[in-house]
Amino acid sequence: MRATNRPRSAFTDAINGITKKTNDAPEASKAKTDIRRRVLNAIGAENAHVGDWFAGEGRMYQAAWKDAASYIGSDEFWYRDERTCYVGDSLRVLRCIDLKPFTVHDFDTWGSPWTAVLILADRRGPLEPGEKLGLVLTEGSGLRLRMGEIPDALAVISGLYRHMPGVARSHAAIIDRALNELCRRMRCRIEARWQAKGKAASGLYYIGLVLVGVEAPGEGETRPAVEQRPTPEKPDRLECAVRRGLPVP
Ligand SMILES: C[S@@+](CC[C@H](N)C(=O)[O-])C[C@H]1O[C@@H](n2cnc3c(N)ncnc32)[C@H](O)[C@@H]1O
């Protein structure tokens, strides 16, 4: 456990070359804030009980979540401020506590949020018909995809092999596929979705979702939650495979 805002000497700061360290590029903050405010409005601030599982220094708390009915953060670092937070590994926290009371989950990781998403689906279970859940994701798998690797949890939830050259071109299609599977597991559909793409080099997607519970499907019935994109004229190998379903070679 480390507290991050304890006073440091000028000497230590000079040695470390520290000026101001933040967790977000400024250009991303606007899109991230906008997405969170939309999710908050859609759920209704009075109904919003937020779990901010990669809470960081609290920029999103200040920009949006402080207006929610309740808030609990979690981060491996301890920030001495007004927030109530778990301090430790958020993935362990998610596995240990009752997730039902939360109506909004924020997974603002630096990399892939899908391990946390899988834990949420498994531990929280399906939504009741008509029940709403806000979900905010920072999807940062882009760099790994460019190396032809799909992060483990994303491979699991999207049902794809972990190694696949050229997979970065299909980043958006893989996210859709993962969201479809999430909706199947949590028995819900996507009522609203807002998405922003970071700079090309970062390969980041910022995604806000409002999920709403549906009746259990009848036997053999499937309902894709994410509308399929029209097939491009010359789809690549993965794009074709993704459209037809598994397995992908
Ligand atoms: C992109 S920053 C979050 C910024 C934050 N949402 C904000 O508004 O300021 C990612 C944060 O996740 C934390 N983090 C990454 N992996 C973690 C883990 N396994 N458990 C707890 N915190 C983690 C980092 O310490 C970092 O503060």
Q: What is the CATH number of the domain that holds 234?
A: 3.40.50.150
Q: How far, in Å, is the centroid of ligand 1 from the Cα of 107?
A: 9
Q: Cα(121)–Cα(144) distance, rounded to whole angstroms?
A: 24
CA of 233 to the centre of ligand 1 (A): 40
Q: Please check whether residue 110 lies inside any domain of the structure.
A: yes
Q: DSSP labels for the chain?
A: -EES-S---HHHHHHHT-S---SS-HHHHHHHHHHHHHHHHHH-GGG-EEEETT-TTSHHHHHTGGGSSEEEEEESEEP-SS--EEES-HHHHHHHS--TT-SEEEE--SS--HHHHHHHHHHH-PPPTT-EEEEEEEE--HHHHHTTB--HHHHHHHT--SB-TTGGGGHHHHHHHHHHHHHHHTTEEEEEEEEEE--TTTT-EEEEEEEEE-PPPPTT----SSPPPPPPSS--HHHHHHHH-SPP-
For residue 14, being part of any structural domain is answered with no
What is the domain range of residue 71? 23-216+229-244
Please report whether residue 204 resides in a domain: yes
User: Is the CB of 85 within 6 Å of ligand 1?
Assistant: no
Report whether residue 28 contacts ligand 1, using a CB cutoff of 6 Å.
Answer: no
Which residues neighbour 95 within 8 Å (Cβ) at sequence distance 6 or greater?
Answer: 119, 123
Residue having the nearest C-alpha atom to atom 5 of ligand 1: 56
Report if residue 224 sits inside a domain. Answer: no
Per-residue pLDDT tens listing for the chain (249 residues): 555 554 444 444 443 433 344 456 666 889 999 999 999 999 999 999 999 999 999 999 999 999 999 999 999 999 999 999 999 999 999 999 999 999 999 999 989 999 999 999 999 999 999 999 999 999 999 999 999 999 999 999 999 999 988 999 999 999 999 999 999 999 999 999 999 998 877 789 999 999 999 998 766 666 666 655 544 444 444 444 444 444 433
Beta bridge partners of 192: 210
Q: How much is the pTM?
A: 0.83
Residue burial 206-216, b: 16+ Cβ < 10 Å; e: rest? bbbbbbbbbee
Q: Is 233 within a domain? A: yes
- Per-residue confidence (pLDDT) for residue 236, from 0 to 100: 46
Please indicate, yes or no, if residue 4 is contained in any of the structural domains.
Answer: no
Q: Which of 24, 32, 92, 109 to mutate to test the pocket of ligand 1 (most atoms within 8 A of CB)?
A: 109
Of 23, 24, 77, 94, which is best to mutate to test ligand 1, by the most ligand atoms within 8 angstroms of its C-beta?
23
Task: State residue 217's pLDDT score.
Answer: 74
147 located within any domain: yes
| Contact yes or no for 142/204 (Cβ under 8 A) | yes
Number of domains in the chain: 1
139 lines ligand 1 (CB under 6 A): no
Centroid of ligand 1 to alpha carbon of 108 (angstroms): 7
Burial class (CB in 10 A: 0-12, 13-18, 19+), 180: buried
146 in any annotated domain: yes
Cα within 13 Å of Cα(61), Cβ side: 21
